[in-house]
Amino acid sequence: MLQNILDFVFGRLKPSDFVHDPIMAGAGFAMVGALILAIIGLTYFKKWGWLWRNWITSLDPKKIGVMYILVSVIMLLRGLADALLLRAQQATDGSAGLLTSDHFQQIFSAHGSIMIFFVAMGIIFGVFNLIIPSQIGARDVAFPFLNSVSFWLFAAGMILINAPLIVGEFSTAGWLAYPPLSELQYSPGVGVDYWIWSLQIAGIGSLLSGINFFVTILKMRAPGMTLMKMPIFVWSALTSTGLIMFAFPILTATLGMLSLDRLMGMHFFTATGGGNPMMYVNLIWAWGHPEVYILVLPAFGIFSEVVSAFSGKKLFGYTSMVVALLAIAILSFTVWLHHFFTMGAGADVNTFFGIMTMIIAIPTGVKVFNWIFTMYRGRVRFATPMLWFMGFIVTFTLGGLAGVLMSVPPADFQFHNSLFLVAHFHTMIVGGVLFGAFAGFAYWFPKFTGFTLNERLGRYAFWNWIVGFLLAFVPLYILGFMGATRRLDHYDPSMGWQGLFVVAGIGVAIICVGVFFQLLQLGYSIWKRNDNRVGSDPWNGRSFEWSIASPPPEYNFAVIPTVTQRDEFWELKKKKHGSLLKSHYEDIWLPKNSGLGPIIGAFALAFGIAVIWHMWWLLIVGLVGVVVTLIIRLTSDETEEKMTAAEVAKHELKRGIV
Amino acid sequence: MRKEKKRDFRRVKQILISGFIAVIILGILAFVTYGRAIPVLDPKGLIADQERNLILLTFGLGLVIVIPVFIMLFSIAWRYRASNTKARYEPDFANHKGIEALWWGIPCIIILVLGIITAVSTHALDPFKPISSSVQPVKIEAVSLNWRWLFIYPDEGIATMNYINIPKDTPINFMITSDAPMNSFWIPALAGQVYAMSGMSTQLHVMADSTGTFTGSSANISGDGFADMHFKVNSMNEADYKTWATNTFNSTKTTLLTDDSYKKLAVASHDSSQQTFLLMDYSLYNEIIMKYMSPGDSKVNSVDASGTSI
Amino acid sequence: MKNVIEEAAVQQKKTLGFWIYLMTDLVLFASLFATFAVLRGQTFGGPSGHDLFNMPFVLLETMILLTSSFTAGLAILGSNRGYKKQTIFWLFVTFALGAAFLTLELTEFSHLVSEGDGWQRSAFLSSFFTLVGTHGLHIAIGLLWLAVMIIRLIRFKFKQTDLNRLALFALFWHFLDVVWIFIFSIVYLIGGMA
């Protein structure tokens, strides 16, 4: 009787699920400890109200953007800790017994999933939230409440993917969980379910956010800003969100089917019962390859902004850049099969996808040349964003070369699933997305704080990163040639791989020093902020975000600017029309705060927990909760409040004096 | 002016230091790489040899773009540094049809060349394509299990576990399937990999051109013991191979591989020892594939506790 | 309150956003359709679509859903002219027809399951239940939406936001109709062929 009640309440959760080996338990305790500390701190300083009003319930995209970035930074540290463990295990060829094979496999699965979904995606959406509205001359995004829901779904997914540190285990099937390994037959535990539902919940958030920014860009540009007058970062965001709209529903469907296999005994991707695991591999890469471009196109946009601003020059070949973005976006849907040339699809099919893959190199190459030529006849200032740009071109070109090597199917037969492949995509994602994020961080930081980051510490961070990066990944390219496959928790010492693994481990340690300098830079810059105070336009920028105050007011623009040409703000400055302020203000409608976004996130989290642990009552609670909350929101009428013209004038006046 | 000179000097110093660091890194890498086996670049088989050549050719074509990119990047960045006030500054120079046509055009030509190479080589090196040779090929059926490899020699009437013996200069026709999650069959010294999937049969054709022992492995994660899924490939003279095959077949001590003993092998195990068997069921490979194709028809169906056959 | 121009801009965004949402939903269905097309023949010794589908029954379902789409259109016509009673009446009819459709679909499902041809039987049946069921789930969500709207329309005055939402609902309902046509032709007609 008691057992039945327990089973009903807790599903398949047992006390033993809380027991972990020391390393995982340590990480779990650290997370819980940090959380408790944060709670104590908030209570002690009586900051709960502040947190609730100013952040959690805020619908201001700038606030939401900061929260995205914060989550991403924390997840970056988690992913980096995972990487350190993986490297330590392989540097000792597994003989030190640091990690069991099961734990090792959980770590690399978590490392990949976290870095893609909760670091790279989080950064991308964070930057969209912070930059897009002000670059297009808008006060807000198209759907502010939806934006909050997206973030809290992302946060719920983030909690789910970290929960296995405390209760249960994570997937051991790799970051894409190929069946039949990820099916019940081979992975009966909760690990794959954790993977599915953290990605599913965060993925739905990403999809909603993608729609939101797509509509924002199409419908909310300042008067006169035609598509071809948009800043190039906005173009990159438009193509990236366009890709999200087409790619993420495929992920939702695929994860859904895998979950139905596991929950209801269906046979989509099972080895037996007529299921077709190859279908999963096709579907997941039909999402997965565009996903790569979803991440890297905005990084391209950031670099375009940075190189043009720091060269004091127009972006070279704007039209080419736009055409290249569109070409990459469209082509990205025609190459997914290159992730599994080795499945035996036949020479004709492989040839087609191989050549399509190579064709993507053309627009990408054009972008590289245009960036370089943006510096030509410019005045290039090598501030930290520009250092990241230089590092990006070097790593990205090398990684691209490796990519072209792998696009030739017979060559790929030798590279596939080897460490060469691992090195390739890390070169692209670290060198592309992450360096882009760092460049953007240093570039836009003063816009949202009013002071710049310390340059010297930034340079130290950069050099540690770039050296550590080369040390960490060049050995992996060589190891690929030696026949070392990915995801090995141990290997035969006679293979002669250990030296290179040790070098790779040292590389990651140096990257950690780089990250340390970045954190130090952040802390030091905040501490010494009064020494680095800057005005609204520290870099002599080109787009509208530099025309408004730093940090910007909640409404961004007191007066919506009018656009007649590309780089309007830069051209205005040239004509000495530095200020866009006019005395005529109008009423501004701003969304009221809403606690319903985080509540929906909480119910989604409950739903995720329920479906992972088979607590069916909680599943109903979560589902009903989400639906009812949505109905409450959609039937409430007064969701916005007015700031009158007089109030706006008062605000602007106050800022003018400060 | 002097301040700018000083800054330039500091830059030169920085560049020298980074060059020095780069040399140290390269030295370390050379040290830990030197003398190790690099099968992909130092192949021992016909197919891997052609794949190596293809890799080098593609790499060379790629360098045609990569080297100019690096030269342009660093020379332009240096020439137009802010401190160099002598360089021309044209903030509105943003379009040049000729230049842009050049870098849309040149990559297009290179990709065209590479595309033709790809089409030809993909068909020539299709893993399903038999190697034409006057020598009678050896047929081997490879089955990936949890977590080991079973190799069936249907023509010799024997089977091996976690190792293969092959005659050199003889085409080897691998038929590959899986009785486990998806694996990938890879012997870098002989040829690139092909997936091993349950319920299907993929193929790989290789031919060793020298004797020696090479390592093969599963390149695709398949669960807990996946790192142990490596095997040895012993390439030997044809006479030695014949002797080995005949002796194994005739030896009375060789373990029998029946449908029942196969079922025991198919159970997940971390035992990665090398074993040799006498093949009793010549259709075993097909039975293993059939196991996944339709319910209950295969002779090697294992029955789990709940009574459902898997 | 916002002025008319601002309201119109808001509505434009919502309409575009909703169209885009529908398109993403279409991609989701397309994935399920593709899976069904691949797994259609994978009956694993079990029954095929030809053995299972009862075409007159499916035709009845189709007619009901098509009619409900028509009545939803009548409701929109009514709302555009500000005829409250007419609008609510046709919304009720739409709800009833939608509910009838859903009931029929669930009947079909329970019949299949009770015959031992549930989703666990084969890959074909898994993809069938998931594709048709996902459409059914959308219908259920649409009915919930419709119910909330009917209540609001009865209790409050006609408000512009409600009318706008009604237009979006009609869009959703027509969209589900189009998806059903695809299900009818691909799953039942082509999938039911021997």
Surface of A (240-269) touching C: CB under 8 A: 245-246, 248-250, 252-254, 256-257, 260-261, 264-268
Separation between Cα atoms, residue C71 and residue B231, nearest integer Å: 68
Q: What's phi and psi for A614, nearest 5 deg?
A: 60, 40
In this predicted structure, the answer to whether residue A657 has a pLDDT above a threshold of 60 is no
- The CA-based angle B34-B35-B37, given to 5 degrees, is 110
pLDDT at A502 over 70: yes
Distance, CA of A141 to CA of A213 (rounded, Å): 7
Asked whether the bond before B91 is cis by omega within 30 degrees of 0, the reply is: no
Same domain, B110 and B150: no
Tokens 């006849």 belong to which residue? A377
| Together in a domain, B65 and B194 | no
- Upper half-sphere CA count for residue A130 (Cβ side, 13 Å): 27
Could you give the domains of chain A? 47-594+639-654 (1.20.210.10)
Tens digit of pLDDT for each residue in C152-166?
888 887 778 888 889
Model confidence band, residue A369 (pLDDT cutoffs 50, 70, 90)? very high
* C156 CB within 8 Å of a chain B CB: no
Per-residue pLDDT at A655 exceeds 90:
no
Q: Shortest CA distance to B217 belongs to which of B289, B153, B163, B269?
A: B163
| Beta carbons within 8 Å of B101's beta carbon, 6+ residues apart | none
How many CB atoms are closer than 10 A to CB C122?
Answer: 26
Q: Considering only CA atoms, which of A406, A426, A408 is closest in space to residue A416?
A: A406
- Determine contact, residues A349/B118, Cβ cutoff 8 Å: no
End-to-end CA distance of chain C: 62
Residue A339 DSSP code: G
Residue whose C-alpha is closest to residue C29's, from C168, C117, C143, C127: C127
Q: Which residue has the tokens 């560049």?
A: B15
- Supply the mean pLDDT for chain A: 93
Q: What mean pLDDT comes out for the span C128-133?
A: 97
Confirm whether B29 is domain-assigned: no
Q: How far is C70 from chain A (nearest CA, A)?
A: 26
Buried b (16+ CB within 10 A) or exposed e, B159-195: bbbbbbbbbbebbbebbbbbbbbbbbbbbbbbbbbbb
Q: What is the pLDDT of residues C68-85, one digit of tens each?
A: 999 999 999 998 888 888
Is residue A583 predicted with pLDDT exceeding 80? no
C-alpha R_g of chain A: 25
3-class secondary-structure state, position A20: coil
Q: What burial class does residue B98 get, using C-beta atoms within 10 Å of its C-beta: 0-12 exposed, 13-18 middle, 19+ buried?
A: exposed
Per-residue model confidence (pLDDT) at position B190: 96
B4 assigned to some structural domain: no
Q: Is the pLDDT of residue A166 over 50?
A: yes
Express each pLDDT in A14-55 by its tens digit.
888 888 888 888 888 988 999 999 999 999 999 999 999 999
Q: Is residue B18 part of a domain?
A: no
In which domain, by residue range, is B213 found?
138-297
Q: How is residue A271 annotated by DSSP?
A: S
pLDDT-derived band at A598 (thresholds 50, 70, 90) equals very high
Residues A58-65, mean pLDDT to the nearest whole number = 96
Strand partners, A418: A485
Task: Pick the residue of C33, C35, C154, C163 with the most A CBs within 10 A to test the interface with A by mutation.
Answer: C35
A604: buried, middle or exposed (CB in 10 Å: 19+, 13-18, 0-12)?
buried
The answer to whether the CB of A535 falls within 8 A of the CB of A658 is no
Number of domains in chain B: 2
Of A438, A396, A421, A497, nearest to A87 by C-alpha is: A497
In whole angstroms, give the CA distance from residue C71 to residue C100: 14
Q: What is the DSSP letter of A114?
A: I
Distance from CA of C42 to the nearest CA of B (A): 9
* Closest of A295, A182, A498, A139 to residue B182, by C-alpha: A182
Structure tokens belonging to residue A419: 């460490």
Query: What is the enclosing helix (H) or strand (E) of A293?
Result: helix A277-310
Instruction: For chain B, positions 80-99, list CB contacts with chain A under 8 A.
Output: 80-82, 87-95, 99
Burial class (CB in 10 A: 0-12, 13-18, 19+), B118: buried
Is residue B44 helix, strand or coil?
coil
- B40 vs A500: CB contact, 8 Å cut-off? no
Cis before A249? omega within 30? no
Cβ(B148)–Cβ(B228) under 8 Å?
A: yes
Q: What is the pLDDT of residue B302?
A: 62
For residue C24, give the nearest of A207, A270, A634 by CB distance.
A207
Q: Is B306 among the domain residues?
A: no
What are the tens digits of pLDDT across the range A412-466? Answer: 999 999 999 999 999 999 999 999 999 999 999 999 999 999 999 999 999 999 9
- What is the bridge-based pairing of β-strands B255-257 and B275-279? parallel
Helix (H, G, I), strand (E, B) or coil at B225: coil
Dig out the tokens for A262 from the structure.
């596991």
Q: What domains, with CATH codes, occur in chain C? A: 2-193 (1.20.120.80)
Encode A413-450: b = buried (16+ Cβ within 10 Å), e = exposed.
bbbbbbbbbbbbbbbbbbbbbbbbbbbbbbbbbbbbbb
Q: Are B83 and B7 in contact (CB under 8 A)?
A: yes
Residue, of A211 and A95, whose pLDDT is higher: A211
**Nearest-CA distance B247 → chain C (Å):** 43
**Minimal Cα–Cα distance from C123 to chain A, Å?**
5
B271 and B147 share one domain: yes
Co-location of B148 and B113 in the same domain: no
> Which residues in chain A have their CB less than 8 angstroms from residue B163's CB?
none
Token pair in block for residue A340: 């599994």
- Write out chain A residues lying below 8 Å of C33, CB-based: none
Q: First CA to last CA across chain A, in angstroms? A: 70
Q: In a mutagenesis test of the B interface, which of A380, A459, A466, A487 is the best target, namely the one with the most B β-carbons within 10 Å?
A: A380
In CATH, what number is assigned to the domain containing residue B199?
Answer: 2.60.40.420
Contact between A337 and A285 (Cβ < 8 Å): yes
Q: Do the chains contact at C43 and A246, CB–CB below 8 Å?
A: no
User: pLDDT value at position A164?
Assistant: 94
Residue whose C-alpha is closest to residue C143's, from C127, C151, C158 = C151
B201 and B244 inside one domain: yes
The reply to whether B142 and B62 lie within a common domain is no
Residue B158 backbone dihedrals phi, psi, to 5 degrees: -130, 170
Same-domain pairing of B64 and B150: no
Q: What are phi and psi of B164, to 5 degrees?
A: -135, 140
In degrees, rounded to 5, the angle at the alpha carbon of residue B177 between the alpha carbons of residues B174 and B181 is: 140
d(CA A630, CA A317): 46
Q: Is the pLDDT of residue A132 over 70?
A: yes
Spell out which residues of chain C touch residue A637, defining contact as CB-CB under 8 Å: 159, 161
3-class secondary structure for A152-176? HHHHHHHHHHHHHHCCCCCCCCCCC
Rounded Cα distance between A620 and B211, Å, is 65
Q: Are residues B156 and B277 in the same domain?
A: yes
Per-residue pLDDT reduced to its tens digit, A465-488:
999 999 999 999 999 999 999 999
Q: Does B33 reside within a domain?
A: no
Q: Cα(B226)–Cα(A496) distance, rounded to whole angstroms?
A: 20
Q: In this structure, are B213 and B251 located in the same domain?
A: yes
Same domain for B256 and B160: yes
**Does any domain span residue B310?**
no
| Subunits with 3+ C-beta pairs closer than 8 A to C | A, B
B118 and B143 belong to one structural domain: no
Which residues in chain B show pLDDT less than 50?
A: 303-310
Q: Do B226 and A487 lie within an 8 Å CB cutoff?
A: yes
Cβ–Cβ < 8 Å for A470, A430? no
- Average pLDDT for residues A355-381, to the nearest whole number? 95
Average pLDDT over residues A176-182: 95
| B22 falls within a domain | no
Q: What is the pTM of this model?
A: 0.95
What does the block give as tokens for A14? Answer: 């047992």
Mean pLDDT value of segment A623-648: 89
Using alpha carbons, list the distances in angstroms from residue A386 to A302, A337, B75, C89: 11, 35, 15, 65
In this structure, is residue B48 part of a structural domain?
yes
The single residue listed with the structure tokens 């055009």 is B105
- State pLDDT tens for residues C97-113: 999 999 999 999 999 99
What H or E segment, with its residue span, contains residue B257?
Answer: strand B255-257
Side by side, which strands form the sheet with B183-187?
Answer: B163-167, B230-236, B212-218, B183-187, B191-196
Beta-carbon-side half-sphere exposure of residue A639 (alpha carbons within 13 Å)? 19
Partners of residue A138 on adjacent β-strands: none
If residue B206 lies in a helix (H) or strand (E), which one and from where to where? strand B202-206
Give the torsion through C-alpha atoms of A94, A411, A280, C58, to 10 deg. -170
Assess whether B143 and B292 both reside in one domain. Answer: yes
Task: Quote the CA–CA distance of A353 and A412 in Å, as a whole number.
Answer: 12
Closest among B201, B276, B196, B265 to B232, alpha carbons compared: B276
